Structure 1
Amino acid sequence: MSEDLPSRLELLHFARRVFVQQATAGLAQIDRWIADEERREAERREAEAQKPTPPEWLLQYGLNRRNADAVHTGDCWAAAQSGRCRPVGRAEALDALRHQVPTCQYCRPDTALGVLE
């Protein structure tokens, strides 16, 4: 009857084969996760590179879209919230300040433009 049972050495070899098989499968899974994350990171970098650069200055217009309400820096969060802005150059932003268009109290474009009251 003891001949039917595997020896201790055979059991150890079997355990080693099972362990190698599971380790190989585990490494393959981790390699897939690494490849997926590298792909996602490359896509994020590509999307960031394709994102247009924000304008330097923004003019916010009123509800009638005619009168300028405020001057903002191009990366101002308050301007992004309003949705009524258009990009302008430095000269146009300075001109708006000369015409008494108020400045944003959050981004302070007058300081960035070098115009202090």
Structure 2
Amino acid sequence: MSDGELSRLELLLFARRVVVQQAEASLRQLDGWIAQEERREAERRYAEEHRPEPPEWLVQYGLNRRNVDAVHCGDCWAAEQSDRCQPVPREAAVDALRQGVPACIHCRPDTALGFFE
């Protein structure tokens, strides 16, 4: 061996150090991903636990935002699709039905409210 040449043992030890460094870097990256996912899961659980109760009754306004187009139960899937629904108390929902506002055909708030004409 001449000066400047590394022995086979030195090369193997160098290769081992490189592999250890790469493995440690990979583990740090993986640990970061795990910590990030744990934070996301904690945030999802927190949001689920602290989600406000849905309103019991909704009225859906028309495109002009003045006319009431329909009455919905608070958990109606059709109402969730609309950005024109507003929560109302039970009395307002019954009032709207009395004034001839149609009940949603999907969630049937008139039946849930006991409103029969």
How far residue 99 of structure 1 moved from its aligned partner, in angstroms, is 5.7
How far apart, in 1, do the equivalents of 2:65 and 2:92 lie? 20
Contact residue 59 and residue 87 of structure 1 kept, 8 A: yes
Deviations along 1:12-50, whole A, 9 cap, x unmatched?
Answer: 111111100110011011111111221122122222332
Indicate the SS of the match to 1:60.
strand
Q: Runs of 5+ in structure 1 lacking a partner?
A: none
1:110 deviation in Å? 4.1
Q: How big is each residue's C-alpha offset from its partner over 1:34-93, in whole Å with a ceiling of 9 and x where there is no partner?
A: 11221122122222332211112223355574x65322121224434152422333x764
Give the number of aligned pairs. Answer: 114
Partner of residue 18, structure 1: 18
Question: TM-score scaled to structure 2, two decimals?
Answer: 0.69
How do 1:1-117 residues align onto structure 2 when only pairs under 5 Å count?
Answer: 2-4=1-3, 5-61=5-61, 63=64, 65=66, 68-80=68-80, 81-89=82-90, 93=93, 96-97=96-97, 100-110=100-110, 112=112
